[in-house]
Every structure is written in structure tokens, then in C-alpha cells.
Chain A
Amino acid sequence: DVKVTQSSRYLVKRTGEKVFLECVQDMDHENMFWYRQDPGLGLRLIYFSYDVKMKEKGDIPEGYSVSREKKERFSLILESASTNQTSMYLCASSPPNRHNEQFFGPGTRLTVL
């Protein structure tokens, strides 16, 4: 079974802190994605990566950056956390021949105080 793991289920940070959210997948998938999920807004794509060291902006990249140094790991970085970044963050990966079947991690609930 594909497994996507995220470093924390719950995280509480203060405004202005630098925050790292880590995601690891064990199925050698090329594509990896970071979303945020907010009530009534569904899932919104922040960044995605289709290869090591490659990244593309999604729909809401402002205030975020990403890093993909290894194929299995995709990190989301909040350079200076703000209260409006309080959200559920979901990581996903997909194989090269099944782009529409994304495998999601359990999510990280981030609260910025």
C-alpha cells in the first residue's frame, strides 16, 4: 500500500515563527503536492513538484515555499507564520501514469497564535 506520512498531526506556532511541514512517501512517486483545506473552501493547491528540485506554484503560493531535495520528501515552509495560515495542511503524491489518483497523508492541523 502507498503510504504518505506527515511529520505532525497537530502543530501550534506563534506569529512570525518559521514553520516546516514535512511529507514523505514510500512509493517512488514523481509528483508531490501540498494543499490546505479550510471549511467551505475545499482543498486548495499551494505548491507541487514533479521531480527532485523542481517546484511549481499552485493556486495560493503566497506566504509559502517548498523544498524537494529527495524524491520521497516534500517540505512546506512558512517563512513567517501568520494567523491566516491556521489550517489543515495535506500532502499528496501521485504516480507518473496515474496523475489523477493522488494519495494523501493524514494531514497536519496547524494553529498559528
Chain B
Amino acid sequence: GESVGLHLPTLSVQEGDNSIINCAYSNSASDYFIWYKQESGKGPQFIIDIRSNMDKRQGQRVTVLLNKTVKHLSLQIAATQPGDSAVYFCAEGGGTSYGKLTFGQGTILTVHP
């Protein structure tokens, strides 16, 4: 079946560095790709999304890159802060309606002061 997965399960960075979290997807029919952040003890929180007809989108301190040729998605966090420590999930929305998403396994980001 279709799946969304991550290259690295854990990532450790120093405060102030830039972080890059990667994700591989397999469903070419997905209309959009999304990143969520889950802090300890909380539910996931939407960060940013990108439509399949785009290759880059920027938010506040975050940039998502989409490479459809190799089916790769990445989330870049600039000037990483301790508050960015969390599990990051990529997700994809297929051509279906009602917002059904398929989530990846997650990457643990740890930011050291």
C-alpha cells in the first residue's frame, strides 16, 4: 500500500543551528503534503503545508521543500530553538475529500542549548 516515511528517526542539533527533517512519500497522487509538530504530552499541531504543484513554501522560520521527481519532502527550521524540540510528522493528503491524511512515522528533534 501507499506509505509516507522518514529517513531519520532522530535528529540532534545545537541551539541556533538550522535543522532539516526529511520525509519520503510514495503516493504520487497526493494533492498536498503537511508537517505537524507534536510536543511531549500534547496532540500534533499543524505547522505548514504545500500543494503538490509547488516546490517550496516558507513560513515563520520554517521552509518546506517538495521534490516530486524523487518523492521527497523536507522541513527546514531556521535558528532552531529549544522550544522546537518535538516529534515532527510529515503527512500527505490524497485525492480524496474530507481531509483524510496519511502520517509518517515521525522524527524526534532534540535541540541542545
Chain A interface residues toward B at CB < 8 A: 4, 31, 33, 35, 40-45, 48, 50, 56, 58-59, 90, 92, 94, 99-107
At the interface with chain A, which of B63-71, B76-84, B91-99? B91-99
Q: How far is the CA of A41 from the CA of B102 in the complex (A)?
A: 11
| Central interface residue in B34, B45, B91, B98, by most chain A CB within 10 Å | B98
Closest CB in chain A relative to B61 CB, distance in Å: 18
A104 and B45 contacting across the interface, CB-CB below 8 Å: yes
Check A104/B98 contact, CB under 8 A, given A41-B105, A42-B106, A99-B93: no
B43 and A40 contacting across the interface, CB-CB below 8 Å: no
A101 and B41 contacting across the interface, CB-CB below 8 Å: no
Which residues of chain B are near A101, meaning CB under 8 Å?
34, 46, 49
Closest CB in chain B relative to A78 CB, distance in Å: 20
Q: How far is the CA of A100 from the CA of B41 in the complex (A)?
A: 22
Per CB-CB distance, the 8 closest pairs between chain A and chain B, nearest first, are: A99-B99, A104-B43, A43-B103, A50-B98, A42-B105, A42-B103, A101-B46, A94-B99
Interface size on B, residues (CB 8 A): 22
B99 and A56 contacting across the interface, CB-CB below 8 Å: no
Contact of B89 (CB < 8 Å), options: A40, A42, A58, A92: A42
Check A48/B100 contact, CB under 8 A, given A41-B105, A101-B49: yes
* Nearest B residue to A92, CB-CB: B43
B103 and A99 contacting across the interface, CB-CB below 8 Å: no
22 contacts between A and B (CB under 8 A): A4-B43, A33-B99, A43-B103, A45-B101, A48-B98, A48-B100, A56-B98, A58-B100, A90-B43, A92-B43, A94-B99, A99-B97, A99-B99, A100-B49, A100-B101, A102-B44, A102-B101, A103-B46, A105-B43, A106-B41, A106-B42, A106-B43
Contact of B100 (CB < 8 Å), options: A40, A45, A90, A107: A45
Given A35-B103, A102-B44, 17 more A-B residue pairs with CB atoms under 8 Å apart are A4-B43, A42-B105, A43-B44, A48-B100, A56-B98, A56-B100, A58-B100, A59-B102, A90-B43, A99-B99, A100-B34, A100-B99, A104-B42, A104-B43, A104-B44, A105-B43, A106-B43
